[in-house]
Amino acid sequence: MSQKIIFVTGGVCSSLGKGIVSASAGMLLKNAGYSVSIQKLDPYLNVDPGTMSPFQHGEVFVTEDGAETDLDLGHYERFIDENLSRFSTVTTGRVYSEVIEKERKGDFLGGTIQVVPHITDRIKNKVLQASKYSGADVLIVEIGGTVGDIEGEPFLEVIRQLKAEKENVLSIHLTLLPYLQASGELKTKPTQLSVRQLRAAAIQPDILVCRADKNIPEEILEKVGRFCGVENSAVFPCETVSSIYEVPLRFEKRNFAEVLQRKLGLKIKKPKCAEWEKMVENIITATDELKIGLCGKYNELDDAYLSVIEALKSAGYDIKKKIKIEWIDSEKLEKKSSSEWKKFKECKGICVPGGFGYRGTEGKILAAKYCRENNIPYLGLCLGSQIMAIEFARNVCQLENATSQEFDERSDTQIVHYLPDQNSEISKGGTLRLGAYECVLQKNTKAYECYGKEKISERHRHRYEFNNEYRDILQENGMTISGTSPDGNLMEIIEITDHPFYVGSQFHPEFKSRPNKPSALFVGFISACNV
Ligand code: GLN
C-alpha cells in the first residue's frame, strides 16, 4: 500500500488547536487499524525549539531519539501512543541551514539558490523522509502558523506540489467561526476568506474543521461547505470541550474516520474507541479534587509544563481524582512570610519540575526541605531531583555550601556538576544529554515499587549530573540511590525510601506518560498524595 499523507493547516487565527485536530485524526486512524505517524513543520527560523523561551514557546518536548521539539509532538504521542522521532520535527531554520550548508560546500555547482525549488524541495524531502522512516500507512503533517503568514508560503507550495504529484494526499483546514454577541450569530466570512487564501496557493481543502466556542448549527456548517467548495459530510464542527481528549470522539460522532479513509482511498474500518471513551468518562466524571503544588518559575503558564501537567492529571484520572494544579512561585517561597507558603501547605503533594538557571532555586530548596521534614509527598523531575540532593547535602549531610555548578561555577561543593567526560564546550544548543537512556532500579525502593521491574528506559534533557564524589555521604545519611545507568556510573533516581514519597529522577518521566497509560512515577506520587 502506498503511504498516504494528510496536511493540516490553520486559518483565521492561531491557537485553534491544529495539534489536537492532527492528533485526533491520528488516534482515529490508528484505532481503525492503520499505522500512523505525525510530523510538525514549523515556519520559524530557529533551528529547533531547544533554545526558545518557555514564556514564548511553552515546553520543549523530547523524543526517544533525543530531538528537542515543539510541544505539539507531546500531544501527538499522547493521542496516538507512538514514539515519534527527529524526523517528526522540521523548522524553516533547519531547512535553510541545511540548504545554505550545501551551497557553501559547492553542492549546487554555482546555481542560484531560491525558495522555489531549493527550499521547497528540501521541505518536500523531509516530508517524504518522515513518511518513509516511520513506515506508517498514513503520515499526518501539521503546518505551524496560520495560512497567510509570509513565512508559511513555502510549506503551502509543498502541499500544492505533493497534491499534484501523488495520489491520496489530503488537506484538512481548521478555521474559527467567531461569535458576535450583538447579532447572536457565528460568522462564516473569516472562514470563507481563509479558504480563499488557501486556494490562492492552489490548494482546495478536502476537509474543513470549524472551531467555535458555541454550538454550531447545521445550517452554518452547510453554508461553510457550500461557500468553500467542501462536501457537507466533510465539514466538521470542533466546539470547545472540557477535555481535549473528547475531541476525537466528537469528530467520530460524525464519522470523521470514515471520511478520512474514503478520501485517502483506504478500506473503511470502524475505529475501536471503547477504551478511549472509558478514559474520557473518567476524566469528565472525576469531581473529587486533589490539590497538587507545581513549584516552578513560569507561574500559571500551563504550556511551559504541559507534559508534567498532563502526566499529573492522567495519574489522577486513573484513581478518579481531578488533579487541581496549584501554582507555587518558587521565588516567592524565598520570603518566609510570603502568602505563597499558605498555598503551599494546602497541597497534598509537591512536584518540582525541570528548569534551567539559578533563579527561583533557593525557593525550591526550601520546598524540598519542607516536604522532606513534614512527610509531604514530593516528586522531583530533573532539576527537581538535583534540588533534592542539594537540600539533603546542605541540611542533613551538613555540607552548608552545597550547590550545583549551574548555580555557582566556582563553588567547591558542587553536588551537581558537569561530568568531566562530557563535551567541555558548554554552548547553548545541542550539548545536553538528550533522549532515552536505560536505567536499572534497585529492589526494595519506592522507584522499584512504582515501575515493578528492574530495567526501565526514560527520556532525558539536562546538562548536569549528580556528582559521584558525594554519593557515599548522601547514602550514609539516608538518601537511597534507587536507579542508576546500567554501568552504575550515573545516579538516575534518588529517594528517601522511609518517607511517604520523596523521589526525584534525573530523567523526565512525563514525556512517556500517556493519558490512558500514566507514567509509573506519577502514579506512585499521586497515590501517595491521595491518602
Ligand atoms: N538545569 C539542569 C541541567 O541542565 C536541569 C535540566 C532540567 O531540569 N531539564 O542539568
Instruction: Encode pLDDT of 82-93 as tens digits.
Output: 999 999 999 999
Largest alpha-carbon pair distance within the chain? 74
In terms of domains, do 146 and 44 share one? yes
Taking the C-alpha atoms of residue 248 and residue 251, their distance in angstroms, rounded to an integer, is 5
Residue 223 lies in a domain: no
Locus of grid cell 536505560: 438
In terms of domains, do 248 and 301 share one? no
State the DSSP code for 169. E
Which is it for the CA torsion 216, 220, 224, 225, positive or negative?
A: positive
Beta-sheet pairing, 480-484 with 433-441 = antiparallel
Kindly report the number of other CB atoms within 10 A of residue 1's CB atom.
10
pTM above 0.85, yes or no: yes
- What is the CATH number for 311? 3.40.50.880
In terms of domains, do 258 and 383 share one? no
With beta carbons less than 8 A apart as the criterion, state whether 95 and 126 touch.
yes
H or E stretch at 107: none
Tens-binned pLDDT, residue by residue, of the chain (531 aa): 689 999 999 999 988 999 999 999 999 999 999 999 999 999 999 888 777 777 777 899 999 999 999 899 999 999 999 999 999 999 999 999 999 999 999 999 989 999 999 999 999 999 999 999 999 999 999 999 999 999 999 999 999 999 999 989 999 999 999 999 999 999 999 999 999 999 999 999 999 999 999 999 999 999 999 999 999 999 999 999 999 999 999 999 999 999 999 999 999 999 999 999 999 999 999 889 999 999 998 777 788 899 999 999 999 987 889 999 999 999 999 998 889 999 999 999 999 999 999 999 999 999 999 999 999 999 999 999 999 999 999 999 999 999 999 999 999 999 999 976 654 444 445 578 999 999 999 999 999 999 999 999 999 999 999 999 999 999 999 999 999 999 999 999 999 999 999 999 999 999 999 999 999 999 999 999 998
Domain hosting residue 60, numbered range = 4-171+244-278
In terms of domains, do 309 and 379 share one? yes
Residue 208 lies in a domain: no
In terms of domains, do 130 and 78 share one? yes
Q: Which three cell numbers stand for residue 63?
A: 523524543
- What is the CATH number for 15? 3.40.50.300
Calculate how far, in angstroms, residue 463's C-alpha sits from the geometric centre of ligand 1: 6
With beta carbons less than 8 A apart as the criterion, state whether 316 and 351 touch.
no
Nearest to 14 by CA among 139, 143, 181: 143
Q: Is 382 a catalytic residue?
A: yes
H or E stretch at 135: none
**Letter for the amino acid at 54?**
P
C-alpha distances out from residue 429 to 46, 53, 99, 170, 237, Å: 11, 13, 20, 35, 41
* Domain's final residue, options 278, 301, 327: 278
State the DSSP code for 197. H
Q: Is 77 a catalytic residue?
A: no
Residue 182 lies in a domain: no
In terms of domains, do 386 and 438 share one? yes
Number of folded domains in the chain? Answer: 2
Residue 523 lies in a domain: yes
Please write the tens of the pLDDT for every residue from 19-60: 999 999 999 999 999 999 999 999 999 888 777 777 777 899
Radius of gyration of the chain measured on its C-alpha atoms = 25
In terms of domains, do 122 and 11 share one? yes
In terms of domains, do 253 and 291 share one? no
In terms of domains, do 387 and 489 share one? yes
Task: Check pocket membership of 252 for ligand 1, CB cut-off 6 A.
Answer: no
Mutate which of 68, 298, 382, 417 for ligand 1? The one with the most ligand atoms within 8 Å of its CB, which is 382
Residue 207 lies in a domain: no
C-alpha distances out from residue 260 to 19, 139, 347, 410, Å: 17, 12, 45, 59
Calculate how far, in angstroms, residue 464's C-alpha sits from the geometric centre of ligand 1: 6
In terms of domains, do 161 and 65 share one? yes
* Domain's final residue, options 233, 258, 278: 278
In terms of domains, do 248 and 293 share one? no
Half-sphere exposure of 480 (CA within 13 A, CB side): 18
